[in-house]
Amino acid sequence: MNFDDYRGIWVYLEVKDGNIAPVSLELLGAGRQLADKRKTELAGVLIGSSVKQLASTAFTYGADVVYVYDNPIFVYYRTEPYMRALLDCCEKHKPEVLLYGATPTGKDLASAIATDLPTGLTADTTILDIEEDTGLLLASRPAFGGNIMATILCKKYRPQMATVRPKVMKALPPDPSRTGKIVEEHIELREEDMRTKVLEIVREAKKARIDEADIIVAGGKGMGSKEGFQLIHQLAEVLGGAVGASRDVVEAGWIDHHHQVGQTGVTVTPKIYFAIGISGAIQHVVGMQNSELIIAINKDPNAPIFQSCHYGIVGDAFEIVPLLIERFKEE
Ligand code: FAD
């Protein structure tokens, strides 16, 4: 494999509800830094139906080039056609680095591509860097249950691929004066050749997602039981926010793992983060410390969470949270 044939930092631009997904914009921010360091171009790959006009958004967020596969066959995400389009693009234009958001779609597509190309994949990356001279990608992620950070290198193959957690990288401020080059690509795909058919789309009940919510109400073991934890759900509901949890709560089976905030859970940066009955262990705090406003409620005045919050209320959650629910209901 001749590494000189492989150039450019690429981001797979996931399309969600008709727009480029926030994680892809964050990756364009991270990719821009890698591309500048490596003195190469930053490209996005857009696959979908009627998506060409989204290329301008990618340019305002830092892309130099956008490869577009615009075809009704891509109207819904399915592994097979998306994989074939992205493989086609990789074969034609040979990226040095290809990044995906660590979303259900990004993880599925990246692992499918990794089975076909002679290369590996670093999953769930939280830190990205690149060697200026060699182009070697330094993709770091928590390993061994979060006890160490592992930097994973792909020394023998190209492209180097990584999925990156949402909300970890920073999108650039959009610059509407930035433009770039659109490269329209085509691949012969026929609906009748597709093994997966979409028969019906069932939308999940509209619940705020933890990685996108402006307000998160997170509860810890201090809520006592699954029944006690219902107060967290109630407060989140009146505030129109999402429910977060500590790992101990997830391990106790009070809530699903998708709600876990922290080193081995999700990293969140909401406008307001309530930490209720959460002690403030470092593994939890690293996942929420960049929230704009952190409000902690804990009955122990010496709980470490009070070192990491903007406002702290020392008291019993079972007295304070019902008062907050009543008060916010009046708003
Ligand atoms: P506790 O530590 O038991 O704290 C409960 C708190 O509730 C206490 O501060 C107590 O004073 C307070 N309290 C009790 N009753 C009340 C009441 N009635 N009203 C108000 N306050 C009350 N943890 C995470 O959260 N996320 C992670 O991603 C994560 N990853 C980890 C990775 C590794 C490798 C390891 C070793 C640990 C990890 N942990 C993680 C676990 C972490 O170390 C803590 O054990 C965990 O965060 C503690 O959860 P907690 O605060 O809910 O429970």
212 has a pLDDT exceeding 90: no
Tell me the pLDDT tens digit for each residue of 73-100. 999 999 999 999 999 999 999 999 999 9
pLDDT mean across residues, the chain: 94
Tell me the pLDDT tens digit for each residue of 231-265. 999 999 999 999 999 999 999 999 999 999 998 88
According to the annotation, is 33 in a ligand binding site? no
At residue 187 the predicted structure's pLDDT band, cuts being 50, 70 and 90, is: very high
At residue 205 the predicted structure's pLDDT band, cuts being 50, 70 and 90, is: low
According to the annotation, is 279 in a ligand binding site? yes
206 has a pLDDT exceeding 60: no
DSSP per position, 120-152: -EEEEE-EEEE-TTT--EEEEEEETTTTEEEEE
According to the annotation, is 263 in a ligand binding site? yes
At residue 110 the predicted structure's pLDDT band, cuts being 50, 70 and 90, is: very high
Per-residue pLDDT at 147? 73
180 has a pLDDT exceeding 90: yes
246 CA closest ligand 1 atom index: 25
Q: Ligand 1 centroid to 219 CA: how many Å? A: 9
Tell me the pLDDT tens digit for each residue of 10-61. 999 999 989 999 999 999 999 999 999 999 999 999 999 999 999 999 999 9
Task: Name which of 297, 291, 64 is nearest 183 in CA terms.
Answer: 64
227 has a pLDDT exceeding 70: yes
Q: Ligand 1 centroid to 71 CA: how many Å? A: 48
According to the annotation, is 203 in a ligand binding site? no
At residue 167 the predicted structure's pLDDT band, cuts being 50, 70 and 90, is: confident
For residues 45 and 12, is the Cβ–Cβ distance under 8 A? yes
What lies within 8 Å, CB to CB, of 231 at 6+ separation is: 219, 223, 317, 318, 321, 322, 325
Ligand 1 atom 16 nearest Cα: 222
E-assigned strand segments in the chain: 9-13, 15-16, 19-20, 42-48, 65-70, 97-101, 121-125, 127-130, 137-143, 148-152, 160-164, 181-184, 215-219, 242-245, 272-276, 293-298, 311-314
Residues 14, 33: Cα–Cα separation, whole Å: 20
Testing ligand 1's pocket by substitution, the residue of 168, 283, 318 carrying the most ligand atoms inside 8 A of its CB is 283
- CB under 8 A, 24+ apart: contacts of 109-117: 109/12, 109/79, 109/82, 109/83, 110/12, 110/161, 110/163, 112/79, 112/83, 113/83, 113/86, 113/87, 113/161, 114/161, 116/83, 116/87, 117/87, 117/90, 117/157, 117/159, 117/161
Residues 222, 203: Cα–Cα separation, whole Å: 33
- pTM listed for this prediction: 0.70
At residue 193 the predicted structure's pLDDT band, cuts being 50, 70 and 90, is: confident
Task: Pull the structure tokens for residue 196.
Answer: 């997966």
147 CA closest ligand 1 atom index: 34
Q: Ligand 1 centroid to 256 CA: how many Å? A: 16
Tell me the pLDDT tens digit for each residue of 116-147. 998 999 999 999 999 999 999 999 998 876 67
**Residue ranges lining ligand 1, Cβ < 6 Å:** 145-147, 220-222, 246-249, 260-265, 277-279, 281, 283-284, 287, 297-300, 303, 316-318
Q: Ligand 1 centroid to 246 CA: how many Å? A: 6
At residue 204 the predicted structure's pLDDT band, cuts being 50, 70 and 90, is: low
Testing ligand 1's pocket by substitution, the residue of 278, 302, 321 carrying the most ligand atoms inside 8 A of its CB is 278
Region 300-310: what's the mean pLDDT? 97
Q: Ligand 1 centroid to 313 CA: how many Å? A: 17
264 CA closest ligand 1 atom index: 28
